[in-house]
Amino acid sequence: MLFNSFQFLVFFPVVTALFFVLPHRFRWVLLLGASCVFYMAFVPAYILILLLTIVIDYGAGLLIEGAQGPRRRLYLALSLGANLGVLGVFKYYNFFAGTANALLHWGGSPAALPLLSLLLPIGLSFHTFQAMSYTIEVYRGRQRAERHFGLYALYVLFYPQLVAGPIERPQNMLPQFRQRQYFDYDRVVSGLRLMAWGLFKKMVIADRLARLVNEVYDAPTHYRGLPLLVATVFFSVQIYCDFSGYSDIARGSARVMGFELMQNFDRPYFARSLPEFWRRWHISLSTWFRDYLYIPLGGNRVALPRACLNLFIVFLVSGLWHGANWTFLIWGALHGAYLVVGMLTRNARQQLTERLPLLGSPVLNVALTYALVTFAWIFFRANSLPDALYVIRHLFDPSEALREGALSHGLGAVKVFYQRYEWLALAGALLALALVETAQARVAVGGWVARQPTPVRWALYYGVVLCIALLSPMERVQFIYFQF
């Protein structure tokens, strides 16, 4: 069930109304049942796999808490093994088997591993990591094992963040599920306002940009120069609006019922460095890797070469988490390389900045960070490694544009997909996004809107809703991160 679908438009108010009507002791049953319905709207049978891992992790948490010595580590290993095993079979087996078959073929061997015809369960990487955080926290003694099976199942299945995060921690969600939630008008309005902004970013900006980005990146060899550059820049905006839009809808829908999910994005394209970018982008995943992989590997408390290796490993795994494809692996490796080079050159860059203060300009650093991130997005978006390499080789190719004229050739390939009013709609939406993101650095925009006079406030609300209704493409586009 997509957040931007008619089904959800019916599902959400019905579930929310029932939530506030029912007595507190029955609400977890409603939310658990609604979350199962939400998940089964994609591929019903896969709910069985999810329920199996929930049973395993619930039992593992109790066993870990009650055990002593090596048995605690054994039960943790069994829990993590079950989760990673499901992830490996459905998401990674064909990738590694295909790579092994290619190596066998290259070596002249006729042997080949069989490939599986399995559909990847929606949001598998997200709820797997959320489940693993529970057993790890119980093992570390930071979380008591949950005795109430229904509440633990709800922790994994809670529908707002089930398929694309934020990847929550048990310390945040389990206590909230036990608390009695009351209807609060201001909180409900705040949640609906956040949902509307998320839908605006997704449907008015991301889905509109997707039309051109998909057209170019689905057949990149048909283009050279300007269309490739425009599509690449557009994708950087598309993926941000698509994913942060989902997170806003998830957080808003949870807030309406009284639950607070963690913030997943904090204006990442305003980052002045790559480390800062990763403190602002997909925060729930970045902190997950920090707490459960980077720090256990030694973090930066070890010698510099080992710290660089730890960092590179984390981003290599992050690339693989996103998808079983060489393009995602290279995307992660590229970000790892960025950060390793940054660590190795930190002192030299500081000395250079002292001599040339202009290099410390915030605008210059933001632009450079954005350029590096956007370059890496080429590998993330390309359907294959050859496609990505083609885009890179021809991204700034001026030959045909110079020969036939940039406006007649380069922009002509772009203009095919948009009429003039669509460009105006897109420009207006991007301007609104830029204004909100810029203002967010100084003031909480949602709070500012709430303090405005009633006519102004409701004019803004109706304006956003009308934009969503009138400017969204007719076709419904799936959220990008659903594939992970």
DSSP string covering 216-279: HHTSGGG--SHHHHHHHHHHHHHHHHHHHHHHHHHHHHHHHTT--PPP--S-GGG-SSHHHHHH
322 tagged catalytic:
yes
Distance CA 233, CA 462 (A): 30
Integer-rounded Cα Rg, in Å, for the chain is 24
Among candidate residues 127, 148, 282, 322, the one labeled active-site is 322
* Distant-in-sequence, close-in-space partners of 435: CB < 8 Å, separation ≥ 6: none
Q: Residue 344: phi, psi to the nearest 5?
A: -70, -25
Q: How many CA atoms lie within 13 A of 220 on its CB side?
A: 25
**Cα 201 from chain centroid?**
14
Distance CA 481, CA 262 (A): 17
Report yes or no: 338 and 277 within 8 Å, Cβ to Cβ.
Answer: no
Length of the chain (residues):
484
Q: Residue 473: phi, psi to the nearest 5?
A: -60, 155
The H or E element spanning position 103 is helix 93-106
Token representation of residue 145: 């094992």
Distance CA 255, CA 176 (A): 11
Token representation of residue 175: 């206590």
Report yes or no: 163 and 123 within 8 Å, Cβ to Cβ.
Answer: yes
Token representation of residue 227: 């269309």
Helix, strand and coil content of the chain, in percent to the nearest 5, comes to: 75, 0, 25
Give the single-character DSSP code of 115: P
Q: Report which of 90, 178, 179 is spatially closest to residue 127, judged by C-alpha positions.
A: 90
Token representation of residue 49: 């796999």
Distance CA 299, CA 307 (A): 6
The reply to whether omega before 166 is within 30° of 0 (cis) is: yes
Catalytic residue positions?
322
